[in-house]
């Protein structure tokens, strides 16, 4: 792993930070992708202390902003000529309907569309690696999810779990479709359910609302380290180096909902997503 470069989104806390530390422990160079510079710098210090590695770098990107994602990718490409591991870990839950800077419903905008654009823009660098892996952190909540492309941003009837489950289902459909598009390449793509983990995912990004609830629930949930174990396994284990298009739970392939297996839906979602993030053949590297 010494020559490998890993990029982890949402790396400043919870599973993202735990994943950073574990991957850094393997000797890989790790880029922590964080939205907030101050929190990111604190997490970077923690990661270096706990891993004993100096090969960890902080880079800033807001997955709720298409402009921020494009700016980050440009900076990343100036500095690195390849990417071996991409862990799309960042996620949000929103009690009330909120919008990203581009007008997307927050959960679908960050959990799916932000990672969709980021991944596509980094494909060229992933192909430059000898063997590359993309890991998408989804959730068992996908099983109650539906994709409503008539009202994807839930303008008519919003619900926290409705929006969250939709975004996590989108993660799996994206994984399935991308694995097909990358067939016969050096890149594998897999999704996972980390289990019920006590993280800051439900804490409001602006106000911090929800922190006290997380503290109360912590004793009943997995630790971030336990939650990160499957992502680390998918990123580093030789056992899964040729596995692609699957959904994992506790380091084993797990069943997904019937909707998550819908090939036509995955194609439709892909086309819709391309339009939303303005992914065009002229300006971006295509599959």
- List, in order, residues 6 or more apart from 156 with CB less than 8 Å away: none
Residue 164 among the catalytic residues: yes
The partner residues of 132 in beta bridges, in order of sequence, read 187
Tell me which of 80, 164, 247, 249 is the catalytic residue: 164
Backbone angles phi, psi at 238, to 5 degrees: -70, -20
Rounded alpha-carbon distances, angstroms, from residue 20 to 41, 52, 194: 13, 12, 15
Q: State the Cα–Cα distance between residues 253 and 108, nearest whole angstrom.
A: 25
The partner residues of 222 in beta bridges, in order of sequence, read 197
Rounded alpha-carbon distances, angstroms, from residue 32 to 12, 87, 90: 7, 10, 11
- Active-site positions read 164
């Amino acid at each position: 792993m010494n020559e490998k470069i890993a990029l982890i989104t949402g790396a400043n806390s919870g599973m993202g930070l735990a994943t950073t530390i574990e991957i850094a422990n393997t000797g890989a160079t790790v880029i922590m992708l964080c939205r907030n510079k101050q929190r990111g710098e604190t997490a970077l210090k923690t990661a270096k202390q706990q891993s004993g590695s100096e090969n960890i770098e902080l880079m800033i990107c807001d997955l709720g902003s298409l402009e921020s994602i494009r700016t980050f990718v440009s900076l990343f490409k100036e500095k690195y000529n390849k990417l071996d591991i991409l862990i799309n870990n960042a996620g949000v839950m929103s009690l009330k309907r909120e919008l990203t800077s581009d007008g997307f419903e927050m959960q679908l905008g960050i959990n799916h569309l932000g990672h969709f654009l980021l991944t596509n823009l980094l494909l060229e660098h992933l192909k430059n690696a000898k063997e590359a892996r993309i890991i998408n952190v989804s959730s068992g909540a996908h099983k109650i999810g539906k994709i409503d492309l008539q009202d994807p941003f839930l303008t008519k009837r919003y619900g926290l779990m409705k929006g969250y489950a939709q975004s996590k289902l989108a993660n799996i459909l994206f994984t399935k479709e991308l694995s097909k598009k990358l067939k016969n390449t050096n890149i594998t793509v897999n999704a996972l359910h980390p289990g019920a983990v006590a993280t800051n995912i439900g804490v409001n990004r602006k106000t911090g609302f929800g922190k006290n609830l997380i503290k109360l629930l912590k004793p009943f949930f997995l630790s971030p380290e336990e939650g990160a174990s499957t992502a680390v396994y998918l990123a580093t284990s030789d056992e899964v180096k040729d596995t692609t298009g699957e959904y994992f739970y506790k380091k084993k392939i797990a069943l997904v909902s019937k909707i998550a297996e819908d090939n036509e839906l995955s194609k439709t979602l892909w086309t819709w997503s391309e339009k939303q993030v303005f992914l065009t053949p002229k300006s971006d590297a295509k599959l």
